[in-house]
Structure 1
C-alpha cells in the first residue's frame, strides 16, 4: 500500500524523461510531484491506482 511521501513509478514516463513521482497529498484525489522537474499533477485515486506501476521507495517516519 502507498502513503504520503512515497516515491512511485508510473506506467508512462513524464516528458522530462523520468517516471519517479512523490505523493505529496492524499485524499479523494492524489497529488504527485515529478522528482525530475518538480511538475505537480493531481488525479483521482482511481486514475492513480490504474496508472501506478510500483512503489520504488517507502517513506520512513522518524519518531
Structure 2
C-alpha cells in the first residue's frame, strides 16, 4: 500500500469528522504524535502517527507557498 504524503500546514480529511460538524483538519505538529486543528471550531487534538495514517482519507489542500 502506498504511504500517504502529508506535511505541516496541510488540510486533511479524516474518516471521522469532528463533533462540531466539520471534517477538515489542519496538521499543526508532526512527530511520533500528530496534532491537528479543526478548521471550523479551532479545537486541536493529538493522536498517534499510526492512527493518523490509518484514518487519513486524503489531503484536501497543501500548505500555501508549496510548489
TM-score under structure 2 normalisation? Answer: 0.87
Moved over 4 A (4+): none
Q: How many correspondences in the alignment? A: 62
2:13 is the alignment partner of 1:9: yes
SS at the partner of 1:32? Answer: strand
Aligned counterpart in structure 2 of residue 35 of structure 1, from 36, 39, 43: 39
Output the aligned Cα RMSD.
1.1
Alignment gaps of 5+ in structure 1 = none
Alignment gaps of 5+ in structure 2 = none
TM-score under structure 1 normalisation? Answer: 0.92
